[in-house]
Amino acid sequence: MKAYLILEDGSKFEGKLFGAVKDTIGEVVFNTGMTGYQEVLTDPSYAGQIVVMTYPLIGNYGINGEDFESYKPHVKGFIVREACMEPSNWRSDKTLHEYLKENDIVGLEGIDTRTLTKILREKGTMVGVITTDQNISQDKVDELFKKFSMRDVVLEVTAKEPYKIEGSGPRVAVLDYGIKQNILRMLKQRGCDITVFPATSGFHEIASINPDGILLSNGPGDPKVLIEGIEVIKKLIDLKKPIFGICLGHQLLSLAFGGDTYKLKYGHRGCNHPVKDYRLDRVFITSQNHGYAVNQDSIRDKGLEITHINVNDGTVEGMRHRSLPVMSVQYHPEASPGPMDSSYLFDQFMELIERQRG
């Protein structure tokens, strides 16, 4: 079945539908990873977005039952140059088409993803509509664009109630803004006794478990809309307990300290982004998925030092407080994109906790 992608700037692409047969609307972004499409689909940070994969062949190793980052896919749509319908991998349980169809996610293939990516790089991220109606009017498209909002996407993906993951080690309170499962796996591997709290949780509810450490998770959207959450983080900072922020959690920490964030033109999404760790004097290949960044100048007088920087564009990728046990990174240390992975940051978090516990 033919389908069409229409962008805010009027650009129109014709392709072939796979997955679910319906119309959809979302913020169109691109991901530069050659692999990891299953993790992309199930990463809650992509809520509200139509993801364009820049690698030309997607789906060649199918979908398996182990590599999910959450209980379902969260993208609004998935665009590829070519969707492989006959995957070859011993772990494969189903095709990409079958997975998208059973989860009611629209797929679009056969368009020039290179041209689409160039448009997004030059003009920036924009809203797009995927439709099967080749005669859809511009008025109807404009009406859809006006109604679309990314404001409440964190509420769509956060846990509905607190839950526990038992462990014999330090108590860690995790604030779930759209957490990836591998973050919880990393904490569990280190023996942590984990309590996961919804993004709407209040300070007293979180503090009631007397945590040894606090983790602020990744998640979708603009950090500035989480006004109440920022106020909760301010109070958590006053506890002087170790805090580790990841991605959205990193941005929220900067706002809680009085810093500022801004929207990137087209964001960082993929598993091949070089980041320099100033403390180790080494560059790591990292997995990233964010459309906002911390303003470097806004945190310099807030007691924070920059610990990581993006080699490609110089944006802030990590920070640490000079006197409090607080650290954060913009990228995903729980991922494994290259030969020099970043799980050591979880070890640093554990060291902060052990030092604090005495």
Confidence of residue 210 (pLDDT cuts 50, 70, 90): very high
Among this protein's residues, is 334 annotated catalytic?
yes
Type of residue at 351: E
Mean pLDDT confidence for 212-216? 98
Is 160 found in the same domain as 135?
no
Catalytic option among 8, 69, 192, 247: 247
Is 240 found in the same domain as 139?
no
In whole angstroms, give the CA distance from residue 178 to residue 56: 28
How many CB atoms are located within 10 Å of the residue 254 CB? 26
Is 350 found in the same domain as 209?
yes
Q: What percent of the chain has pLDDT over 70?
A: 99
Is 257 found in the same domain as 191?
yes
Q: How far apart are the first and last CA of the chain?
A: 64
Residue 340: per-residue pLDDT: 60
Catalytic option among 250, 268, 290, 332: 332
Is 116 found in the same domain as 178?
no
Task: Please say whether the dihedral angle defined by the alpha carbons of residues 79, 85, 89 and 90, taken in this order, is positive or negative.
Answer: positive
Residue 17 clears pLDDT 80, i.e. is over it:
yes
Mark out the alpha helices in the chain (DSSP H runs). 37-42, 96-102, 113-123, 138-147, 153-157, 181-189, 203-207, 227-238, 248-256, 344-357
Q: What is the CATH number of the domain that holds 140?
A: 3.50.30.20
For the stretch 154-200, pLDDT in tens is: 999 999 999 999 999 999 999 999 999 999 999 999 999 999 999 99
In whole angstroms, give the CA distance from residue 62 to residue 64: 7
For the stretch 262-277, pLDDT in tens is: 999 999 999 989 999 9
For the stretch 32-90, pLDDT in tens is: 999 999 999 999 999 999 999 999 999 999 999 999 999 999 999 999 999 999 999 99
Q: Which of 148, 183, 200 is the last residue of a domain?
A: 148
Among this protein's residues, is 271 annotated catalytic?
no
Closest residue by Cα to residue 312 from 271, 266, 276, 339: 276
Backbone conformation region of residue 41, classed left if phi is above 0, alpha if psi is from -120 to 50, else beta: alpha
Q: Which of 131, 148, 165 is the last residue of a domain?
A: 148
Among this protein's residues, is 122 annotated catalytic?
no
For the stretch 101-146, pLDDT in tens is: 999 999 999 999 999 999 999 999 999 999 999 999 999 999 999 9
Question: What's the chain's length in residues?
Answer: 358
For the stretch 97-113, pLDDT in tens is: 999 999 999 999 999 99
- Domain of 189 in residue numbering reads as 154-357
Mean pLDDT confidence for 228-245? 98
Residue 339 clears pLDDT 70, i.e. is over it:
no
Task: Note whether 199 and 88 are within 8 A (CB).
Answer: no
Catalytic option among 8, 27, 317, 334: 334
How many domains does one find in the chain? Answer: 2
Residue 358: per-residue pLDDT: 72
